[in-house]
Structure formats: C-alpha cells, structure tokens
Amino acid sequence: MNVNSNKNKKLIKQFPFIETILVVHAMEPFGSWRPNGRPQDFVDDLTIRVQRADGDLMFKQAHNVGLGDGSFIFSVGAKHPKCVGKEAEYIFAIGHDNAILNRLNWPRNREERQGKTVYGRNVFWSRTSPDGQMLSNSIHDKIAYLVWVTVSTWHGDTGKDDLPEGRFGKCLERSANIIIFRPPECGFKKLEEDSSVWSNLRLNQDVYTKALVDKDTSLLQMFGCLWELCKFFQEEVWDKGMRQAYESFSTRGASGRFGPAEVLVADLCGYHRVMFKDASCWVSFQLRPGGIDMYVLGQDGTLPELRRLVRGMVKMWMMQPECHVNFKSNEKVGMM
C-alpha cells in the first residue's frame, strides 16, 4: 500500500510510534538511503493492521531470510520478475506514553540461531540470557501495545553466488508490514501465563531442525504427535479407499475438499505425497516407493491447528462415506 495513503496517514497519526519505528530504528534489510527522515523516505510500500494479541504471538518466531547465510527469497509472481528478496522480523513493546520500551531482535540467520530459543514473549522482559531461556525484569504492566514488524527488500538478481553481495543486486523496493497488537481483556501478563509451547508454537522445518540439534525432548514429542496423525490418516483413509481411488485415476494428481480442509495428492518419482491445507496451516505426508509406512514430510502450523485439520478430514472420510466422491482426479496438482 502506498505510504501516503489516507489509511496509513490516519494510522500513523493515531499511533505515532509507527513513525519512530520506521525512521529511528534501523532495521535490516536496508534499502536505498534517503535522508529526509519521513516514513516514505525509508519504505516504498507500507501495510498497517491492528488486532488483539493472542497466545500464538507469545511463541511466534521471526522468519529471517537473506541475512548473511546465503539464503534468499525467489519471486514467483509477476510483481518482481527476475528478483531475489531479503526479509527480517522484529517485535517492539510500546509504553502507555507511546515510547518504545523494548525491541526484540531475533538471531539473524541459521548460524546465530544455534543454541538460542527466542519467542515473541521475550519482549516482556528487559533482560534475557544469551540462549534466550532466562528472563528477568518484567515490563508487562508498562506495555500498551506490541508491534510486529516485517521488513522486506527486493533486489535485481545477479545470478552469481560468488560475488561479495551474492545474488543481491541493486535494491529496487523496500516494504514494511506492521501489525499493532492491542492487549487482550485479560492483559499481557495473564496472556503469557496461559500460553504454552504445546498449544501456541508454530511447528515448521526450522523448529524441527533446531529440536533435533538441541535434542529438545519437549519439541520432539510434539513432532511425534504429528507422526501419530500421519499413521491415523494412513490407516483410516489412505488404506481404506483413498489410495485405491487415486491409483484408478489416469492423472498423477488428485484433490478433494472435506469441510475446511483441502487434500492434494500427487505422484512424484514414485513417491505418493499427500498434503492437507486450510486457511491457517498445512501438513504433508509421503510414502516411499515400495514403502509400508507414511511419514511426515513437512508442516506449518500449531499442533492444535494441525490436529484439527487432519482429524477433521479423517472423521469425514470415516463417518460420511458419501463425501468420498469429493476426491477427484486433478491434473493441475503437481509439486507440493
């Protein structure tokens, strides 16, 4: 959205700390330097939203890409053709006088993430240990808002990994996505106390890799629950009609909608891959050629979200046989 849009102007006036965050707080990835000290001099595109804080925010983690580890974002749309991108995320604690009380910087890249666990709730504490585990000096009662900021840049693609700047050529656009979180009715302190890793942590490949490296038994138990969901699906759906239906189709892809869940199936070099997704999360299972047991290939969502997604679909398949006709051949289903 244009930085000078009427909506943005009204929100910047209502929440003056937005301008302070954009102008005063240097945040990677950086774009072209412009000296006038106004929001429009630091970003080309600005989106601002306001919503209530919830438990998922307490265990939200940054998605940092392109900050010194060789990673980058590909453009798959028409808006940024032949471009590569960087992205970094931050969370700020804002006081009742609109002053910035705390800014939480996540580890920039994979190397810095090793041995550290940093969640959104860390912003409630003015002191944290290097590994992010020991929290002290609470500022809960001083906070009026939490602000999540995502900064992105798009660059021309050099196509060469061996250059000092890697694939990142000239910066073409810098954008910021800002979400202002109001406190829930119970307040920020009670929200943190009532939130938990098991209910609110978003499980993805980064979390899984870190759990393996750190031998974090609590997180590994959560991923074990996903393997049980995978087995549940295989025994009650895949082995009871879905595989037979899929293999009867002339295409290598199929799909179906079961309540809010969309199910996609594809054959990839002999591997059967099944993906579930809805508006909030996704998970994929896979079966090797000649294999007996499916396994979890990937996911993105909290454990309760993923559980509802898979269990809801399985329940419909088991209890409503008439819904089996929703699963149909679909030649547009390919790589997932």
The pLDDT value recorded for residue 49 is 97
Determine, yes or no, domain membership for 10.
Answer: yes
Q: Please, is 121 exposed, middle or buried when counting C-beta atoms within 10 Å of its C-beta (0-12, 13-18, 19+)? A: buried
The pLDDT value recorded for residue 196 is 95
d(CA 242, CA 66): 41
Judgement on whether residues 120 and 266 belong to the same structural domain of the protein: no
- The yes-or-no verdict on residue 311 having pLDDT over 90 is yes
The pLDDT value recorded for residue 112 is 72
Residue 310 or residue 68, greater confidence: 310
Lowest mean pLDDT among 23-27, 33-37, 149-153: 33-37
CB 75 within 8 A of CB 208: no
The average confidence (pLDDT) of the chain is 90
Determine, yes or no, domain membership for 1.
Answer: no
Per-residue pLDDT, averaged over 306-325, amounts to 96
Judgement on whether residues 171 and 240 belong to the same structural domain of the protein: no
* Residues near 9 by beta carbon (within 8 Å), at least 6 away in sequence: none
Tens-digit pLDDT profile for residues 172-181? 999 999 999 9
The backbone torsions φ and ψ at residue 111, rounded to the nearest 5 degrees and listed phi first, read -65, -45
Judgement on whether residues 36 and 177 belong to the same structural domain of the protein: yes
* Residues near 80 by beta carbon (within 8 Å), at least 6 away in sequence: 154, 172, 173
Judgement on whether residues 183 and 233 belong to the same structural domain of the protein: no
Judgement on whether residues 168 and 244 belong to the same structural domain of the protein: no
Q: Specify the number of domains making up the chain.
A: 2
In three-state secondary structure terms, 202 is: strand
Lowest mean pLDDT among 19-28, 233-242, 278-287: 19-28
Determine, yes or no, domain membership for 201.
Answer: no
Containing structural domain, residue 321: 218-329
Residue 129 or residue 106, greater confidence: 106
Q: State the DSSP string of 244-297.
A: HHHHHSSSSEEEEEETTEEEEEEEETTEEEEEEE-SS-EEEEEE-TT-SS-EEE
The pLDDT value recorded for residue 234 is 98
Which CA distances in Å does 240 have to 245, 246, 256, 273, 308? 10, 12, 16, 16, 20
Tens-digit pLDDT profile for residues 198-234? 999 999 988 898 888 888 898 999 999 999 999 999 9
Judgement on whether residues 167 and 266 belong to the same structural domain of the protein: no
